[in-house]
A = this chain, B = another copy of it.
Amino acid sequence: MKQLKSESPPLYDSEPWKISETSLSLKNNLLSETIFTLGNGYIGMRGSFEEGMAGADCRTNNGIYLNGFFESVPIPHAERGHGYAANTQTILNVTNSRIIELYLEEERFSIASGTVLSYERAIDMRKGYLIRDLLWRSPSGREVKISIKRLISYKNRHLVAFSYEIEPVNFSATIKIKSALNGAVDNHRHEEYDPRFSASLGGLGLSVTDIQSDGEKAVMLQSTQRSKLKMACAMVNSLSGVKQRRVEIERSNTLVSVNYQFEGKKNEKVTLEKYVAYYTTRDYPEDELCPLAERTAENSRNNGFQALLSGQEEALADYWHKTGVELDGDSFTERGLRFNLFHLFQAAGCESKTSIGSKGLTSEGYDGHYFWEAEIYMFPFYCAIMPDQARKLLEYRYSILDYARSRARELSHPRGALFPWRTIAGEEGSSYYPAGTAQYHINAAIAYAVCKYIEMTGDYTFMLSQGAEIIFETARLWEDLGAYNLRKGNRFGFHEVTGPDEYTALVNNNCYTNLMASWHLDFAAKTARRMSKEYPEEYKNIADKIDLQDDEPVAWQRAADNMFIPYDEILQIHPQDDSFLDKEIWDFVSTPAEKFPLLLHYHPLVIYRYQVCKQPDIILAHLLLGDRFSLEQKRRDYNYYEPITTHDSSLSPSIFGVVASELGYHEESYRFFTISSRLDLDNLFKDTHFGAHIGNMAGSWLCLAYGFAGMRTQHGKLSFKPVLPDLLKKYQFRIFFRGTQLEIQVDQNKVVYKLLQGNSISFKHNDVAVKLATGEQFEGTYFKNNSITS
């Protein structure tokens, strides 16, 4: 595995609930901008400064993103092929509403001039806003205290607000404050070469269509060129603490600014409040955007900043109560995990038309695309903590089902649906198909999430209204994609597919894919049988709608039952695919540390030629389809694959952590858990400056719940097999299951399950059935000495 080292002391987390820095590191500026990103699932705003970084010797990406708001950028295929993705939908850096400039006489406040005498930037994760407190001395010696609060509302998804307080310390002077909206925005241009960043907009980008202003208010309308989307950004400003001031509107083609001028007095505080709202045509008609944005900003100004702050605290209190996560004995890892949970909260807020990108809204990395990790990594977390949010993630998939159907036709499948490997609004945007479209397993990931949603919530209404249609259409694709192979005992399998491990591509019978497809086909066939019996009318409606023939579920079942699962009798392990074990093992000994991640230093033809994995493949199936493998089998597979896995993907450590725990590799499991928990906060992968890794963030929670506590849902049953890692005195977390809330506490002596809310709950503790009624709790023991040296 690559060298993963946390800085000591940690850069951002000296206190339990606080992410903060007390000195500014220009070198780490891009990273800090990611770390201090605020978001509410709809708006994401990187932690860049209100005054900008002009003149400072550092890189900056002051992105602001709206979930689902994108430009359609043509993919420049040097050599085109039929059915190649034509466009990529790239999330856009939108109207910069963050701008607040301060002038003391003619001296403009900037961290690139004068002297910063004291400094703090921080987010209190129980409060939900970003603060920045400075004492700045201007080049001519004027000292001013600046205290900034910034928030993105957790209660109104369209709303952003700033409070910008200044206090002259040793002078009185004419002061100007400019509060602006800047429409001259572009996506971040990165000099580094890295396929994981975003597409270049190449001249595409937002143009300003209209600007209106009135007193201390302004609204800007912007539009995209190719995706034909429009957005409005309104601001309402309010200055307090001075009696006299001049207010002027400054305008250009792409900027509108409300400029205040007043006589600043020594030791007298003046505060600008700025309320901003964003609306787009993905939700509303064009002519309503500006009025809606203005009204939202204005209402919020009328309610005042304090109301917003209280709202933030309230929302977080509720959230932290729901998660109930505590680690006793390792505050270092706990702070990382908490940071991850905070960002998972900030990433949530999808409303059926959008999902969660692999970077959330913390950057435009991966073009803001939604991948399978929304279903396989993030979904189980949301399903346990915020089941409504989980349902919306699935509703999003339903909303793009027509795109998935078209995509299947482009790939010559006469029936069925193939979900895009990466997209925003539904169009396939993967430009490198061997590690994109070839990952057919995304179809199974979505079906799997539908199944788990119903198991965890009991909400079969989703199955009837949307879920079954998704499951049937995607099952059809497997049936058409695969074939029975007489040379493999007439087993069913798939050629030219890519599994989750992207260091091997275009293989035959990828073990993970075959297993998941088998599960999927079986689930689809069972669902068809159940619905036709229990919900005949709903079933008939769907069958009519998608022209489902009676013999199709039969064919699904047959394919599921006859799926070829590669197995090597000599090593007694599951080969990753038909030819994986034929290859040489990567020469790890001769590979220097700086050659990781391999994808940046070796041609795919080199990487694909060896046994080397970027991330779990069959090991992920151990977690998702755990009952298909004996513990011994899992152990043999794990022992084979872990040593040849580079963990170059951020999606790797958490899954290995979960499975290692099940196998009793507790030390190793805990190491993965810590890596997963601290991955972004300590920039362990050296790319957090290009955005946080939301999939991994959810993965760190999986390490806790699915790993240490051994939580599973299988066939609708909840179960636990807890262990306590050596380093911990105690841990706890909470989940929702079928409307009841359960708390799990594990300490050095016992496991305590408490029903916090709801009528009753049934589950298994170490294979023993437990049933709790309201207010009841159950104490159990766990096996302490089941550690096995790997």
Contacts and interface: CB of A to CB of B under 8 A. Distances in A.
A438 interface: yes
Nearest to A79: B432
A193 B82 CA distance: 9
A599 B506 contact: no
Interface stretch (A307-315, A555-563, A603-611, A738-746): A603-611
A574 B88 CA distance: 42
Nearest to A508: B579
Interface residues of A, number: 50
Most buried by B among A412, A508, A582, A583: A582
17 contacts: A76-B78, A77-B78, A78-B88, A78-B199, A78-B432, A79-B432, A81-B603, A82-B600, A83-B606, A412-B602, A412-B603, A433-B603, A487-B581, A495-B582, A496-B609, A505-B506, A508-B583
Contacts of A579: 495, 508, 578-579
B79 A605 contact: no
Given A578-B579, A579-B578, A431 B605 contact: no
Interface of A is mostly: loop
Contact of A78 (B75, B412, B609): B75
Interface in A510-531: none
A601 interface: yes
B602 A82 contact: yes
Contacts of A195: 79-81
B199 A599 contact: no
Nearest first, the 5 closest Cβ-Cβ pairs linking A and B are: A78-B431, A83-B603, A76-B76, A79-B432, A75-B78
A80 B194 CA distance: 7
B487 A80 contact: no
Given A579-B508, A581-B487, A582-B488, A437 B78 contact: no
A516 B603 CA distance: 24
A582 B433 contact: no
A521 to B, nearest CB: 18
B495 A411 contact: no
A434 interface: yes
Given A487-B581, A506-B505, A584-B483, A79 B431 contact: yes
Nearest to A194: B80
A442 to B, nearest CB: 14
Contacts of A78: 75-77, 88, 199, 431-432
Contacts of A749: none
Given A81-B604, A411-B606, A505-B506, 18 more contacts: A76-B77, A77-B78, A78-B431, A79-B431, A79-B432, A81-B432, A82-B600, A83-B603, A412-B602, A434-B506, A483-B583, A485-B582, A488-B582, A495-B582, A496-B608, A496-B609, A578-B579, A579-B579
Contacts of A603: 81-84, 410-412, 433, 437
Interface in A426-442: 430-434, 437-438
B432 A605 contact: no
Contacts of A481: 609
A431 B481 CA distance: 28
Interface of A: 75-84, 88, 193, 195, 199, 410-412, 430-434, 437-438, 481, 483, 485, 487-488, 495-496, 505-506, 508, 578-579, 581-584, 599-606, 608-609
A431 B195 CA distance: 16
Contacts of A606: 83, 411-412
A485 B412 CA distance: 37
Contacts of A608: 495-496, 506
A415 to B, nearest CB: 15
A364 to B, nearest CB: 15
A437 B77 CA distance: 17
A582 B496 contact: no
Contact of A599 (B82, B430, B487): B82
A156 to B, nearest CB: 37
A600 to B, nearest CB: 6
A509 to B, nearest CB: 8
A603 B408 CA distance: 11
A488 B549 CA distance: 45
A496 B605 contact: yes
A77 B506 CA distance: 19
A362 B510 CA distance: 45
A438 B605 contact: yes
A287 to B, nearest CB: 36
A577 to B, nearest CB: 10
A599 B80 CA distance: 10
B605 A437 contact: yes
A88 B76 CA distance: 14
B601 A82 contact: yes
Given A506-B505, A582-B487, A582-B508, A605 B411 contact: yes
Contact of A602 (B75, B83, B582, B584): B83
A581 B495 CA distance: 11
A275 to B, nearest CB: 40
A548 to B, nearest CB: 22
A609 to B, nearest CB: 5
A75 B80 CA distance: 12
A95 to B, nearest CB: 27
B433 A605 contact: yes
Nearest to A484: B584
A227 B80 CA distance: 24
Nearest to A581: B487
Contacts of A505: 506
Contacts of A412: 602-603, 606
A561 to B, nearest CB: 20
A609 B495 contact: yes
Most buried by B among A77, A81, A412, A433: A81
A199 to B, nearest CB: 7
B508 A506 contact: no
Nearest to A579: B508
A576 to B, nearest CB: 13
Contacts of A506: 434, 505-506, 605, 608
A199 B508 CA distance: 33
A483 B82 CA distance: 34
A198 to B, nearest CB: 11
Contacts of A81: 195, 432, 599, 603-604
Nearest to A88: B78
Nearest to A601: B82
Contact of A582 (B76, B84, B578, B604): B578
A292 B84 CA distance: 49
